Chain A
Amino acid sequence: MAQNIRELITLQIGHHANFVGTHWWNLQRQETYTPRLLCIDTKGSLHSLPAHGSLYNPIQPDHSTSEASWDGPVELIQQLPEEKNEYLMDLEQEDARFLGPADEDKDICIDDSSISNKVPDFHLAPSQKIYDLTKSVKVWSDFLRPHFHPTSIYLLDDTLVKSARTSGNTDETIWGFPLGSALFQREEVEDEITDRIRRLAESCNSLQGFQILSDIHDGMGGVCYGVLQHLADEYGSKDSITFATTPSQLSPSYTELSKLSSVFVPLSLRKSCWDFQAPSTTFSNLTLEENNPYITSSVMAAFVDTASLVYRSRTSPLPLSYVVDMLSPGGRNVAAGSVALPLGLRFDQAMLEWLQQGHKPNLVSLSAGCDYTVAPISEIRVIRGVPSSRLVRPDTKLPPGVHYTTASQLYNEFLQESHTPPSMRMVTGVQDPLKLNPPFPSIFSGTFTEDGYANNVATTNIKSAPCAAGLHQGAGIGHLLQHLVTAAEKLDVTKVPSLVEEGLDKDGWSGVVEDLRNITRNYCINNIEIDSSDND
């Protein structure tokens, strides 16, 4: 029966979260497929994508005012059609071919030759072409591949929520948690969002939980708070794993969200969790434009896609509740994430050889520079894309009785020998590599073969890559939170007018700081695992 427990509902709240989510869905390679998903964003952030999607209602190019059914005058106010980038145009063409000509008379036999003549032979499917979308992607729908169900996207009124996008100024600190949660409490908003979640849940035979991607640097954190509160209330026995994606971070969201979700994983490419002018995390083999959400979100998506394999993989998924139990011992439910992209294995090497030479997957922390190696408590590592043929060289003599069948087995055994082992470790893996077809941006700077192994000669078109990801629980998170507490203590609320305007006064803020301190305390008191190496 445990095999049936598979259903997960995905919620994406906020613009940056949707960027990550879009990359994530693009990485899934099913052709016809409507995810069990609810995206929440602000109005005007979809550009060329209709809010109800184009799956069931193909877009009509012309609108006549007669549709209005009104005896009086009708005024037609039409925005110019949004420009579509090359990728979307190609997708649309592909869809059109798939659906056939939009002809109402199905009886009429269509002469196939005439259609195929129209399509030039040099036309490549969008999945094979190479695009440079770095400049042209403005919003996430600019590179969305799958069609969503008409009820998958919910748009909030942008006048009522302060999001980083509407202010348009990335240098500015955006506060908006109180506004966001107030917006969620508006009756029509709450009703609609909760109803859509309910409908998704109703269709599940045995829902195991929710995976949530949320922005927490702006008002969307507040919205997410409301959603999580609802989930805790209505679906109390379900687990949820929240990935807080953000270019910068905000503490009220931290405290409230981590209280409510089973596991909370902050993701940020900056090295500090508070100051978002801080330098970005560097990846040895990637070049990232740090201010381009299209690029940064792709790394996060690679992480989310890989790490979530632990409960998502087709062959042997763990129930989400195991994952949650493992990552949240003793009330420590803020976990760190890390990714090694690509793995770094050379094309002519076997994995055993590579590991024996002292290499290891270089997991780079994605949680705001959090050092996950400090006094680890538990961790989950996922390794993907190393086929069993690549584990050992055929000519290597293994000790008798030793036999490696999967990369995760090998990796696990190798990790056993390392020092400071966490008290719980789980290593799993799949054979599929991370597929890097467009619209995944080309972010690799090293020299790699087409399937992502290190090489001396560079290939322009990397199609897939082996990679690894980790979810970690340990003292490092405690330090991260401690940083946050210190920064929050220093802040004088009265000097941030927009925060005061939203109704957060000095007392309110000290409450927030106190909550944060409580969460941090979980990491320092009542633990057995952390010894004197912890300096708090």
Chain B
Amino acid sequence: MAAIKTLNPKAEVARAAQALSINISGARGIQDVLRTNLGPKGTMKMLVSGAGDIKITKDGNILLHEMQIQHPTASMISKACTAQDDIIGDGTTSTVLLIGEMLKQADIQIQDGLHPRLIAEGFDLAKVKAQEVLDQVKIVDEMKRERLCQVARTALRTKVQSDLADKLTEVCVDAVLSIKEEGKPLDLHMVEIVEMQHKTEMDTQLVKGLVLDHGGRHPDMPKRATNAYILTCNVSMEYEKTEVNSGFFYKSAGERDKLVTAEREFIENRVNKVIELKKKVCAGNNNTFVVINQKGIDPMSLDMLAKEGIMGMRRAKRRNMERLALACGGMAVNSFDDMTEDCLGFAGSVYEHVLGETKYTFVEELKNPHSVTILIKGPYKHALQQTKDATRDGLRGIKNALDDGSLIAAYAALMKYENEVKGRARYGVRAFADALLVIPKTLASNSGYDAMDSLVKLREEYKNNGGLPVGLDITTGEALNPCDAGIFDNYCVKRHMLDACSVIARNLLIVDEIMRAGLSQLK
């Protein structure tokens, strides 16, 4: 009887073999769910909730979020994988598969009487070795556009159908290349993703500029501006209560009105400053003027702006302030006092597009935009979401490749393993190596080939070609050289995956007691 039972009779305890079997069944359960998703030929899952909400996905991470996992071990694995997705944005399905497989292999050894601790040690050794191997086979290369396309395509083909994947590949790579500045870290926030429920997924496009999801709120404002100066600001242009509490201290209604008028004048002065600047820069040419404000603009101020032919937009996204500065030049101002012409950005064309109840404003024809927008289109909400998720993953993949400066020929590195470890820990190493094979095996079976058959082919090919990477051709079921086929994966994804799965599997293995006791009551 566990000690905790004497202290808390309500506690539930599972020990040793029982604890292990709980962990293994949890890990394998979650593996079974995700198994069919792996690879470009995996199954797409369409989830329909009780209320009729639809979610279509193939992404392991999203599935893990959608499933309401009850099993404690499974939910732990799912959290760990989510963490991996947060950091590098890919590889969740593989990680889950690997953890499940590692525990399965370990289970076989444990049945034979091996202590879990030894296997855990073996896992550690094997992980280090595997990462070494990964370092050896990684391909360090200059990241040309073509290479980046290959990486993005590899990632995207596993998420959406191939023609859309090819389309998104181009879009993502071009987006990243245009925001990339030498010597500066890449900030993916500078690629804005805007959804538009309209047309089909294939109409998704890259806008070399910005798309804002709001427009002018005044009927007389111009809907289109060419050769426009852009003023981005964070200055309130609406009548507001004073900062000092003044609500109840008027002597008379007249006094109150006076204060209101004074307040109003204060705001009007601000608007007039903008109008002055507009008159100054637009004098003698046909240029126009656009104000994009992060704070509010009230109807009276809008009216003043509209009379001057200025396009004014209020409540812009905070992040769009930064993006606008990068896209059109100029800078966001926080006060109109020391505003000069240098603060202004410039865009060749600014126009509104109305779709249903939403107005979109396009800021285009920029000189040298360092911030761009991917405009995602699709007929349904769930289709938009699916494309958006895929686009995010594509962008992350490209960023990873640029950051690492190196790539892994997909599915190849995992084939190498070694038997040099002395002592009983080598069983652990073997379990690890066998577990790694789950990836090509699952890929083969998802593509409709016999898993073992394919594995044999791969092993033979590897032996014969003398150390070149080997991959599985999912269209033929034969071995192929992934470098030639242009299938590349991120180095950091693989590295992180090896790390994550061995650590989690190891932790789960050496658990020998699971306790569930009520949280202490508060009194």
The residues of A with any CB-CB pair to B shorter than 8 Å are 1-2, 43-44, 46-52, 57, 59-61, 63, 65, 67-82, 150, 157-159, 171-173, 194-195, 198-199, 201-202, 204-207, 234, 237-239, 275, 319, 321-322, 325-326, 424, 491, 495-498
Contact = CB atoms under 8 A, between A and B. Distances in A.
A202 B296 CA distance: 7
Interface string B395-424: 000000000000000000000000000000
A325 B245 contact: yes
Nearest to B57: A68
A79 B48 contact: yes
B380 A202 contact: no
13 contacts: A57-B381, A67-B46, A69-B201, A74-B45, A74-B46, A75-B46, A80-B50, A173-B521, A205-B299, A237-B236, A275-B523, A491-B522, A497-B519
Given A73-B43, A74-B43, A319-B241, 19 more contacts: A1-B239, A50-B51, A59-B51, A67-B380, A67-B383, A68-B56, A70-B160, A76-B48, A77-B45, A77-B46, A79-B48, A81-B52, A82-B51, A198-B315, A202-B314, A202-B315, A206-B296, A322-B248, A325-B245
A47 B247 contact: no
B299 A159 contact: no
B173 to A, nearest CB: 22
Contact of A325 (B50, B58, B247): B247
Interface string B494-523: 000000000000000000000000111111
Nearest to A206: B298
B129 interface: no
A44 B68 contact: yes
A172 B213 contact: no
Interface of B: 36, 40-54, 56, 58, 65, 68-69, 75, 78-79, 160-162, 164, 201, 213-214, 217, 236, 238-241, 243, 245-248, 260, 294, 296, 298-299, 314-315, 317-318, 380-383, 518-523
Nearest to A58: B52
Nearest to B63: A77
A310 B45 CA distance: 51
Interface centre among A72, A238, A319, A498 (most CB of B within 10 A): A72
Given A172-B519, A173-B521, A202 B214 contact: yes
A60 B48 CA distance: 11
A496 B46 contact: no
Nearest to A202: B315
A275 B317 CA distance: 42
Nearest to B245: A325
B44 A201 contact: no
A43 B41 CA distance: 30
What are the 10 tightest A-B residue pairs by CB atom distance, in nearest-first order?
A: A82-B50, A202-B315, A325-B247, A70-B44, A173-B522, A321-B241, A59-B52, A78-B48, A79-B50, A322-B247
A132 B447 CA distance: 55
Contact of B240 (A68, A73, A74, A237): A237
Given A69-B164, A172-B518, A173-B519, A158 B68 contact: yes
Contacts of A68: 44, 46, 56
Given A71-B162, A158-B68, A319-B241, A49 B51 contact: yes
Contacts of A47: 50-51
A173 B53 CA distance: 33
Contacts of A43: 68
A70 B523 CA distance: 56
